[in-house]
Amino acid sequence: MSSLEICCVCGKDWNAPSDIIDTVYPDSRDFSVWKVICQLHNAGCGRVVYGDDKKDAVRRWNKGKTDEMETWQAPDQPKNLKQALDDIRGDLSPLRKDGNLYDELVDLRDAGRK
């Protein structure tokens, strides 16, 4: 496989061995469609290019084609630890001993600082 050009949208270089495995891969079970993606979760922009095979997908990527842009919307970010814990308190109720998960986590944090 020829190397990938940097992403024409965001400039990300995907040629590191750890990145390439999550960037060029089949998009169908029979390997009839391949995908090159500038992965959002690896600081990319979401640009997606398809090809009939791996070589075709890479060729189209290197020519600057874009078939779609993946998007990701971040969840609302909590303002502080207490708000985050309050938001997930119900999901963690089986883990609470006395009903005050926040205090338990602060105690654990403080114990680690000693």
Based on the fold, state whether residues 107 and 63 are members of the same structural domain: no
d(CA 8, CA 58): 13
Based on the fold, state whether residues 64 and 85 are members of the same structural domain: no
In a domain, 24, yes or no: yes
Q: Which pLDDT belongs to residue 3?
A: 85
Higher pLDDT pick, 9 / 18: 9
Domain region containing 105: 81-113
In a domain, 9, yes or no: no
pLDDT in tens, 53-86: 999 999 999 999 999 988 765 555 555 656 665 6
Based on the fold, state whether residues 85 and 60 are members of the same structural domain: no
Is 53 in contact with 34 (CB distance < 8 Å)?
yes
In a domain, 49, yes or no: yes
pLDDT in tens, 77-111: 555 656 665 665 555 555 555 556 666 666 767 77
In a domain, 75, yes or no: no
Domain count, the chain: 2
d(CA 17, CA 99): 47
Based on the fold, state whether residues 47 and 22 are members of the same structural domain: yes
Work out the mean pLDDT of the chain and round it to a whole number.
77
Based on the fold, state whether residues 57 and 93 are members of the same structural domain: no
> CA-based diameter of the chain, in Å?
61
This model's pTM is above 0.75: no
Based on the fold, state whether residues 27 and 64 are members of the same structural domain: yes
| Average pLDDT rounded to a whole number, residues 15-39 | 85
Q: Is the pLDDT of residue 15 over 60?
A: yes
Based on the fold, state whether residues 28 and 49 are members of the same structural domain: yes
Based on the fold, state whether residues 26 and 64 are members of the same structural domain: yes
